Structure 1
Amino acid sequence: MTDETTSPLQTVNKPRSYVYLDNDTSTLRSCEFNDGILRCRGCNYILSNEHVTACRYCLGDLNTKNKKLRSSLNEMRAEVLSLQKEMEFLRTWDERFVNGTASSGDITLKTKDGFCFTTYRFLLASRSSVFRRILEKKPLSELEIEDMTAHELGCLIDYLYRARVEQEAMERLAPGLLVAAHRYQILPLKAACEQHLTHRVHTENVVSMIELAFKSNAASLKEAAFHVAASIYKELMSCPDMKNLLEREPRIAAEMLKEILVRTNL
């Protein structure tokens, strides 16, 4: 009879476990209540018996780990998206190039400073509607590119092959590449350069950035530059860059002043 009956002491001492979903981390957590003491099952930290929750140290550590995991996941998603875009880019390449049956190049591009680059007409035409129109008119074997430096043209051709610009090259050449990408309608390169420059607008370069945004029809860069310009409009009116812009590009300067007046309610 005694063996079949559970004593009151045994009933009290029987561990009780609690499992619940933590709302902050969307992770299952657990604790254990035994002998009147509530312990975190992650580290045995003694908790208050007034509530059922995780140890704040374990929970803080878990939050930190989850934030790092989410950050890594976002980076991986961005990399996957980049690779998907590159694969889409590669799938549109001319069959001759993909199969390795093309020669080393069938057109030479010459820069204003005398440098030459050999590439493929089909590559230029497939990436740029402007190049396509030029090459459709006449099957050129040589083309003068007077509006780009050798570094800019070399980087642009490299982009046509690889669909990416190295960070170091982007830091040096983004303004020139943005203008070239707009002129030749290489839209993915234009978007990449515009995004890069939008995050690098400051009080020292705001006038040149506004001029660049107008010349390349870069809406997000223009918005970022006007935001900075409106915050320093008093200093801007007397700076040398603004005076030079008024002399060189009065139309752009007038549009810039008009926008600043609207934004500052003057």
Structure 2
Amino acid sequence: MKQVLVPEPEFLRRWEEAVAANANATSAPPDVQILTSGLRRIPAHSRILASVSPVLESVMDRPAKRGNSEKVIPILGVPCDAVVAFLRFLYSGGRRWDVVEEEEMMERCGVQLLVLSHVYQVRWLKRACEEGLAARLTPEAVVDVLQLARQCDAAWLRVRCMKLIEKDFATVQKTEAWRFLQAHDPWLELDILQFIHETDLRQRRRRRKREEQRAYLQLSEAMECLVHISTEGCTDVGADRSCRRPCAAYASCRPIQLLLLHFASCGSNRATCPRCRRTWQLLRLHSAVCTALDQSSCRVPLCRCCVCVNL
């Protein structure tokens, strides 16, 4: 005998209280019956259902069968608990009513609620289900949720699933759901691998851009220190008081000083000495960006002249 899944008494009690409260507020008794997979009939108000779901509204507009004045709407394929939770959310109209009860329903029936909200086009409930499922994602269940998100056209949830798979791909590969996916849905597997590859490329581009920005910042600091050393006579930062004002960039100024001292006293071929070549590069860069009107107004050595030096 097939086992019939029925809602827990607590779920039914809460639903009966919600229907009774609405009947007292509007003086309108339930006028429609929701038929579930367990052949249980749940009373509801057609006016409320039609106001939140265009699909249910179209169902309400259909003429009743001859000889049957009672309107019955079948919602099959999901447990009765999920139908009760779905109706409870529809009656709330998107308003928060009980955080604990909402979390309990989302924990028990989140997957079924996503399917129902997609089928009956309840957009605010669909987004709430996406957020609820995304908050409960685990590497063991993420592949199943991803397949569900694709079938229900839940783009936001799909991206969250992809990001979790990319973040913990080694664990996802060990799950039974991933092996089943490889055997039965190679296109989705290819989509996942392509997403991981594109994410890796974006991360590499961001790292390369950060490195370039760091290099530009270091060059800018080096140019400022070169002008500072040449203009203010900063010869030995931190050792004596020859600098006319305290140097605020010791970490950048000191290496430039050492390069200049080496460049002035190097006895080897400057074309082959790596430290001299680095100094030449700094001087050439300064000469290229210097805004001084003439050579005499700039104190940096070889300004306007080092661009002609061919190493």
- TM-score band by shorter chain is 0.5 to 0.7
Please point out which of 98, 108, 113 is paired with 1:172.
108
What residue in structure 1 maps to residue 155 of structure 2?
A: 219
Residue 154 and residue 251 in structure 1: after superposition, are their counterparts in 2 closer, same or farther (change >3 A)? farther
Mapped to 2, the partners of 1:127 and 1:195 lie a distance apart of 20
Please point out which of 82, 95, 98 is paired with 1:152.
82
1:1-266 equivalence runs, <5 A:
100-103=26-29, 105-139=30-64, 141-163=71-93, 164=96, 166-237=102-173, 239-246=175-182, 251-264=187-200
What residue in structure 1 maps to residue 250 of structure 2?
A: none
Q: Of Structure 1 and Structure 2, which has the larger fraction of its residues in strand?
A: 1
Q: Of Structure 1 and Structure 2, which has the larger fraction of its residues in helix?
A: 2
Q: Which amino acid aligns with 1:205?
A: A
Mapped to 1, the partners of 2:39 and 2:188 lie a distance apart of 32
The one-character-per-residue Cα deviations of 1:230-256 (angstroms, maximum 9, x if unpaired) are 123345345311222345555544433
3-state secondary structure, aligned to 1:204: coil
Residue 100 and residue 197 in structure 1: after superposition, are their counterparts in 2 closer, same or farther (change >3 A)? same
The one-character-per-residue Cα deviations of 1:89-127 (angstroms, maximum 9, x if unpaired) are xxxxxxx96862322x11111111222211122221111
- TM-score normalised by length of structure 2: 0.48
How far apart are 1:217 and its partner, in Å?
A: 1.7
Residue 114 and residue 251 in structure 1: after superposition, are their counterparts in 2 closer, same or farther (change >3 A)? farther
Preserved CA contact (<8 Å) 1:214 1:252: no
What residue in structure 2 maps to residue 30 of structure 1?
A: none
Residue 236 and residue 99 in structure 1: after superposition, are their counterparts in 2 closer, same or farther (change >3 A)? closer
- TM-score normalised by length of structure 1: 0.56
Corresponding pairs, count? 169
Residue 191 and residue 98 in structure 1: after superposition, are their counterparts in 2 closer, same or farther (change >3 A)? farther
Unaligned runs of 5+ in 1: 1-95
The one-character-per-residue Cα deviations of 1:42-83 (angstroms, maximum 9, x if unpaired) are xxxxxxxxxxxxxxxxxxxxxxxxxxxxxxxxxxxxxxxxxx
How far apart are 1:134 and its partner, in Å?
A: 2.1
Residue 131 and residue 250 in structure 1: after superposition, are their counterparts in 2 closer, same or farther (change >3 A)? farther
